[in-house]
Structure 1
Amino acid sequence: MKIASSAMLASLLVAGCAATTPPDVLPAFNPADPVMGVRDAHYHPIVDSYRHREPVDPQNWRRLNDELSPKSNGAGS
């Protein structure tokens, strides 16, 4: 059992040393390089479409459902 464990550990060690580094996928980026340019930063307000809303009293559910439902009589059950 001890020999099998040693053999497996030795094979993992040899495989780890033989591994190559992954290829460079992205080009080297250097922020100080003027050729790379500067990305334009746009301002996007977070609360652009904010609308102030006030709490209201409860309304009649049946009337509200009738207003939101399709107008044809055959729709729904």
Structure 2
Amino acid sequence: MKITSSAMLASLLVAGCSATTPPDILPAFNPADPAMGVRDAHYHPVVVDYRHREPVDPQNWRRLNEERSSANPGAGL
């Protein structure tokens, strides 16, 4: 049992040491290279669709579900 464990550990050690490094995914990319150019940065506001909402009293949940059901034309507006 001890010899089997040692043999497995040794084989893993040898396999780990013989592994090659992964190839460069973008070998031509260098951020310091002026030929690469500068990418455009677009501004996207975070609160574009913000709507202020106030708390309301509890309402009839069955009526609310029926108003928003897919069987109701214009649901989800």
**Smaller-chain TM-score range?**
0.5 to 0.7
Q: TM-score, normalising length from structure 1?
A: 0.58
The alignment's C-alpha RMSD in Å is 3.0
Q: TM-score, normalising length from structure 2?
A: 0.58
Distance in 2 between residues matched to 1:31 and 1:7, nearest whole Å: 46
What is the CA distance between 1:3 and its match in structure 2? 1.6
Residue in 1 aligned with 2:26?
A: 26
Residue in 2 aligned with 1:39?
A: 39
Percent identity among equivalent residues? 79
Which structure is larger by alpha-carbon Rg, 1 or 2? 1
What is the CA distance between 1:13 and its match in structure 2? 1.4
Residue in 1 aligned with 2:8?
A: 8
What is the CA distance between 1:70 and its match in structure 2? 4.4
Residue 35 of structure 1 aligns to a residue in which SS? helix
Q: Which runs of 5+ in 1 are unaligned?
A: 72-77
Residue 15 of structure 2 aligns to a residue in which SS? helix
Residues 6-51 of structure 1, C-alpha deviations (whole Å, 9 max, x = no match) = 2111111111122122222223432221011111111111112223
Distance in 1 between residues matched to 2:58 and 2:10, nearest whole Å: 74
